[in-house]
Amino acid sequence: GSVDLECDMLVLGAGPGGYSAAFRAADLGLKTVIVERYATLGGVCLNVGCIPSKALLHVAQVMDEAEHMAVAGIKFAKPEVDLDALRAHKDKVVGKLTAGLAGMAKGRKVEVVRGLGTFLDANHLEVELSSGSGQDKTGEKKVVRFKQCIIAAGSAAVHLPFIPKDPRIVDSTGALELRTSDGKAPAKMLVIGGGIIGLEMATVYSTLGTRVDVVEMLDALMQGPDRDAVKVWEKQNAQRFDNIMLKTKTVAVEAKDDGLWVTFEGEKAPQGPQRYDMILQAAGRSPNGKKIGADRAGVVVTDRGFIEVDAQMRTNVPHIFAIGDVNGNPMLAHKAVHEGHVAAEVAAGETQGKSELARSAFDATVIPSVAYTHPEVAWVGFTEEQAKKEGRKVETAKFPWAASGRAIANGADYGFTKLIFDAETHRIIGGAIVGPSAGDMIGEVCLAIEMGADAVDIGRTIHPHPTLGETIGLAGEVAHGSCTDIP
């Protein structure tokens, strides 16, 4: 067929990985085209992920804090929630960001082709053009010829096969829509999956007045972080949820007029079907690798739909790269962004003979994770458990926030900051923080790991007093004191 558009670099998907890669490629002089099926740039993260969830979590936090102020002698009236206005607020936050991205694409002369892309071969992608706010097909097609390509097709929520289609059953995208028939949040909700996404949405809905149950197949909620940190989160949330069902399987869901009836299996599973008004499926996300005709380009896709890459983000086809959720875990926006930069730099270095760019590579040792729940849980690098499992000798230092003036003043004396050091070098290899703003603080621990800091470096860095961030320096001092062979 005929070619409608030619470019040096084609980026498939405009999520955090895709737009970061496209902008970097354009900045480095490559003629760049983005293919995106949706009307706005930003992918899952901006449209239906990180950003709208944080807009809602912020509102929930203000409501929770207002209630907590009673201990300081300040009483507010019970908040009235206007879900339509809240939805509009959230959409406005998202709109500002996606409009900003569109401007940035224009400023860099990155062409955006709107439609569903499928590979024809290793140098051509066919786009079924779409219009409107969703993926409405216009019936037209465009073929783009590219010299190099970055696949940034992302991931989608897993839908359990036995769960029927019903407007009351949603994934995270549906939950963020705050759908309501009577202007109120649902009375009783089941969250399937006790990972970060499920617990963040459970936090929002519980604050809005919904009674929430959480069901999880594994033996603990929040699998990633330090168990001590999760324990603090659990204690703070003991009142928030009705029933947390661990080691429990959801085996059947029946959508009836009078509610959604759910059957569970497991030692502590409730007997007989339980009734809910809403169900959130948050049992994981699956990569979009199988949906783009990758085989026609010769790109290998695993059974689960991932596209494997080397440290330079190259697939088995050297001029085709894959970044972000589609190339593997952890499925996080900041991972996608950094991988996008690497892929674009390698590609540009190759094309333009700039060897220093072509050597760019991704080192995944320090990818932080954050559960933006109340309180937040943030962690990076090794947990104590992982380090021990790998046979590494470690020293840990924990600074309890009960000894932090600011944490006490803020009503957050339950939190802690924990650092993990290599026992021989005393270099920091991991950290965990639980408490308000933990996510904003963990970046310092990432930097310390990246810079090869040891306990003395951290402890002797002057932190502002009184702040929650000070607890990182204080944990460094705790470690410093316990590492007796340090001068």
In what order do the strands lie in the sheet containing 259-265? 249-256, 259-265, 274-276
- Contacts with ligand FAD, 287-316, as mask; x by CB under 6 A: -x--xx------------------------
Residue type, 73: G
Structure tokens at 212: 């929430």
User: What is the Cα–Cα distance from 245 to 219, expressed in whole angstroms?
Assistant: 9
Candidate residues 17, 194, 431, 469; the one interacting with ligand FAD per rule CB under 6 A: 17
C-beta atoms surrounding 176 within 10 Å: 23
Inter-residue contact 261 to 233 (CB < 8 Å)? no
Q: Should residue 194 be labelled a site residue for ligand FAD when binding is judged by CB under 6 A?
A: no
Beta bridge partners of 170: 280
Q: Should residue 116 be labelled a site residue for ligand FAD when binding is judged by CB under 6 A?
A: yes
Residue type, 131: S
Inter-residue contact 330 to 371 (CB < 8 Å)? no
CB of 304: closest distance to ligand FAD in angstroms?
Answer: 15
Inter-residue contact 125 to 143 (CB < 8 Å)? yes
CB of 408: closest distance to ligand FAD in angstroms?
Answer: 28
Candidate residues 9, 30, 45, 433; the one interacting with ligand FAD per rule CB under 6 A: 45
For residue 465, indicate whether it is catalytic: yes
Nearer to ligand FAD, 37 or 418 (CB): 37
**Residue with token string 């890459």:** 309
Q: Should residue 375 be labelled a site residue for ligand FAD when binding is judged by CB under 6 A?
A: no
Q: Should residue 334 be labelled a site residue for ligand FAD when binding is judged by CB under 6 A?
A: yes
Half-sphere exposure of 19 (CA within 13 A, CB side): 24
- Contacts with ligand FAD, 124-163, as mask; x by CB under 6 A: ----------------------------xxxx--------
CB of 462: closest distance to ligand FAD in angstroms?
Answer: 30
C-beta atoms surrounding 261 within 10 Å: 15
Q: Which stretch binds ligand FAD (CB under 6 A): 13-21, 178-186, 248-256, 311-319?
A: 13-21
DSSP 190: E
CA nearest neighbour of 83 among 194, 171, 175: 175
Candidate residues 22, 24, 30, 53; the one interacting with ligand FAD per rule CB under 6 A: 53
Inter-residue contact 230 to 244 (CB < 8 Å)? no
Candidate residues 10, 57, 101, 197; the one interacting with ligand FAD per rule CB under 6 A: 197
Nearer to ligand FAD, 117 or 375 (CB): 117
Q: Please list the active-site residues.
A: 465
**Can you give the binding site for ligand FAD, defined by CB under 6 A?**
12-18, 35-38, 43-45, 49-50, 53, 116-117, 152-155, 172, 197, 288, 291-292, 324-326, 331-334, 336, 372
